[in-house]
Amino acid sequence: MSCRFVAAALLIAAAGPAVAVELNPKAIAIRQADELKWRDPTGAAPTNQVVLFGDPTKPGFYMVMNRFKPGAFSKPHFHPNDRFITVIKGTWYVGTGNKWDKDATIPVKAGGAVTHFGKEVHYDGAKDEEVIVLITGEGPGTSTQVEEAK
């Protein structure tokens, strides 16, 4: 074998297959991360959301991702229905009750899961790092702020 043949074979193997794959659009839909449309494309908002499936403002199943900048917290609020949250990135902090106190929260690390039960007051957010959570629920997924306790 010549050195050129071996070098060419190694380059082809390293490059991988050059065959384009076409999937049946009736069977699967893919949106890559750079194709997702975040609510605030500038990234200036302390929290940001992208709708992955459904419409959280209407009845039916929905799935969204929320991104919290470091230090971003929601104030005490509740939702009409249960919401199921998985922490994708970072450590998310959750608290309950209508007295907002970020020091009275429990940390949930990436891979952890939280259920916000419908009509129960809670608050949540990020402390020192960016946090991304995946939220699924039954819409409408509205939030109702509550008066904070003094």
Beta strand segments in the chain, E? 47-53, 60-68, 77-78, 83-89, 91-96, 106-109, 113-116, 122-126, 131-139, 144-145
Q: Where do the H-state alpha helices sit in the chain?
A: 3-15
Residue 8 confidence (pLDDT): 47
CA atoms of 5 and 145, how far apart (whole Å): 69
Residue 71 phi, psi dihedral angles, 5° rounding? 90, -5
Q: What is the pLDDT of residues 51-65, one digit of tens each?
A: 999 999 999 999 999
In the chain, the domains with their CATH numbers are: 26-145 (2.60.120.10)
Distance separating alpha carbons of residues 24 and 111, to the nearest angstrom: 31
pTM of the model: 0.80
Please list the ranges in the chain whose pLDDT falls under 50.
5-9, 11
For position 19, what pLDDT does the model report?
66
